[in-house]
């Protein structure tokens, strides 16, 4: 008899460890965690709560962290099915176009292309509709390459548009399991920024690459962020550069938190706050990064959860004016962090579920794609013994792709 966990992490851990031929003891030692904790993770008795442990296990098993996220067909329901169906078109677009080469595709008038760029931005940083982005982005990217090749007066506009398309491709493929594609998309964005030559866009794409590849090496994410901050130093009279510098400090803070360096993470969070206070508005608009005091508050919540702060994350979040963020996706990410923090307290778990439901109402595909939210809900489902867990909990678990059955099953 084996117990089937109501989450995918335990199953994937066991699968990959067996494939590698590594014992529990060896894997736990390489990951720097206890043998007992790894056993509980595999049996689904404990949730995986942070990037630090996820990435340590990935290094111990010599796989990418993304390997622990299931494909849609491996889940009890497939919330990302529609989006995943567009991955092939996105991958083809990332492979097909070379900067400066005419793709020989049809090209509409610029106002129509520009309108679709606005729409893509709304899909990306609005509701995080990955399915719609995967449908829109490939053709739009081809048109932008055609503009660059055929209309010299529009090359700067085309480069900025390409960066937005590659950004959309990075976030979409990262969330729905396009292994290797997020890094490819972020490097293509960097190539466009280099050609554009604007410091703010160079900084933006450096931040984007950190978001795409940070899980592979947090020390490298930190070094790249700090190197770019230094390069932006002479341009800090430009408010667009100021916003990017703030985001790079937030990237550095997360990199430190994943390495369990609380003091340095706090230093960079404080630096980001000081930069946000330089802005004339509460939320900046460059690159749809929405940098400002509310966004720093979202990142503080993320980093607090990474460091295991629990309920105090939710208490500190009360001061964050998250409604000021134009992005419902960013608001949803904030409520995901608050909900996860509340779930760590047995007396506030129902409150945590209702906060997660609110996050889901804002950006369902973003919430469904989050491995730590799935883990937290699976753990609560297990603790509630499913039948006593309530309709809201069971419904959310199903939509997250968590198996409804968690009892014993025969081999």
Going by C-alpha positions, the residue among 206, 171, 223, 177 that lies closest to residue 75 is: 177
Going by C-alpha positions, the residue among 9, 8, 52, 2 that lies closest to residue 31 is: 52
Rounded Cα gap, residues 19 and 50, in angstroms? 24
DSSP 236-269: TTSHHHHHHHHHHHHHHHHHHHHTT-HHHHHHHH
Indicate the pLDDT class of residue 316, thresholds 50, 70 and 90.
very high
Of 230 and 180, the structure prediction assigns the larger pLDDT to 230
As given in the structure block, the two tokens for residue 214 are 């940070």
The DSSP code for 171 is H
Chain centroid, CA 12 distance in Å = 20
Rounded Cα gap, residues 338 and 192, in angstroms? 36
pLDDT tens for each residue of 143-190: 999 999 999 999 999 999 999 999 999 999 988 877 789 999 999 999
Rounded Cα gap, residues 332 and 298, in angstroms? 10
Indicate the pLDDT class of residue 3, thresholds 50, 70 and 90.
very low
Say what the pTM is.
0.90
Judge contact between 385 and 394, C-beta under 8 A: no
- pLDDT for 405 beyond 80: no
Going by C-alpha positions, the residue among 186, 187, 163 that lies closest to residue 174 is: 186
Rounded Cα gap, residues 122 and 132, in angstroms? 11
- pLDDT for 4 beyond 60: no
Residue-wise over 364-403: b if at least 16 C-beta within 10 A, else e? bbbbbbbbbbbbbbbbbbbebebeebeeebbebbebbbbb
Minimum mean pLDDT range among 29-33, 165-169, 366-370: 366-370
Q: Find the mean pLDDT for residues 64-93.
A: 70
CA pseudo-torsion sign 233, 235, 241, 243 = positive
Look at residue 160 in the predicted model and tell me its pLDDT. Answer: 98
pLDDT tens for each residue of 95-152: 999 999 999 999 999 999 999 999 999 898 777 888 899 999 999 999 999 999 999 9
Minimum mean pLDDT range among 8-22, 94-108, 224-238: 8-22
């Amino acid at each position: 008899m084996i117990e089937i966990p109501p989450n995918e992490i335990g199953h994937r851990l066991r699968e990959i460890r067996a494939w590698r031929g590594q014992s529990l003891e060896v894997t736990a030692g390489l990951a720097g965690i206890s043998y007992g904790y790894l056993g509980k993770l595999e049996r689904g008795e404990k949730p995986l709560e942070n990037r630090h442990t996820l990435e340590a296990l990935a290094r111990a098993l010599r796989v990418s962290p993304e390997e622990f996220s299931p494909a849609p067909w491996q889940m009890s329901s497939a919330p990302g099915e529609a989006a995943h169906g567009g991955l092939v078109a996105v991958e083809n677009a990332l492979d097909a176009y070379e900067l400066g080469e005419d793709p020989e595709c049809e090209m509409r008038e610029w106002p129509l292309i520009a309108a679709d760029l606005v729409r893509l931005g709304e899909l990306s940083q609005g509701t995080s509709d990955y399915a719609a982005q995967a449908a829109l982005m490939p053709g739009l990217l081809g048109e932008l390459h055609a503009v660059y090749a055929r209309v010299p007066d529009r090359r700067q506009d085309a480069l900025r548009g390409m960066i937005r398309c590659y950004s959309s491709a990075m976030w979409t493929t990262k969330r729905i399991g396009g292994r290797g594609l997020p890094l490819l998309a972020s490097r293509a964005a960097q190539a466009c920024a280099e050609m554009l030559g604007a410091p703010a866009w160079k900084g933006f794409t450096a931040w984007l690459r950190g978001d795409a590849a940070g899980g592979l090496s947090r020390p490298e994410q930190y070094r790249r962020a700090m190197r770019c901050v230094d390069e932006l130093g002479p341009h800090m009279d430009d408010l667009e550069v100021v916003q990017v510098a703030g985001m790079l400090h937030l990237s550095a803070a997360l990199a430190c938190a994943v390495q369990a360096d609380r003091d340095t993470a706090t230093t960079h969070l404080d630096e980001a706050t000081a930069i946000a206070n330089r802005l004339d508005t509460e939320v900046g608009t460059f690159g749809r990064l929405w940098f400002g005091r509310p966004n720093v508050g979202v990142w503080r919540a993320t980093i607090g959860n990474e460091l295991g702060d629990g309920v105090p994350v939710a208490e500190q979040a009360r001061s964050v004016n998250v409604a000021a963020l134009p992005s419902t996706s960013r608001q949803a990410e904030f409520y995901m962090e608050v909900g996860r923090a509340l779930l760590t307290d047995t007396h506030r778990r129902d409150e945590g579920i209702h906060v997660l439901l609110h996050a889901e109402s804002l950006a369902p595909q973003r919430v469904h794609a989050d491995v730590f939210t799935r883990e937290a809900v699976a753990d609560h489902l297990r603790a509630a013994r499913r039948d006593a867990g309530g309709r809201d909990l069971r419904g959310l678990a199903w939509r997250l792709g968590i198996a409804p059955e968690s009892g014993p099953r025969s081999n």
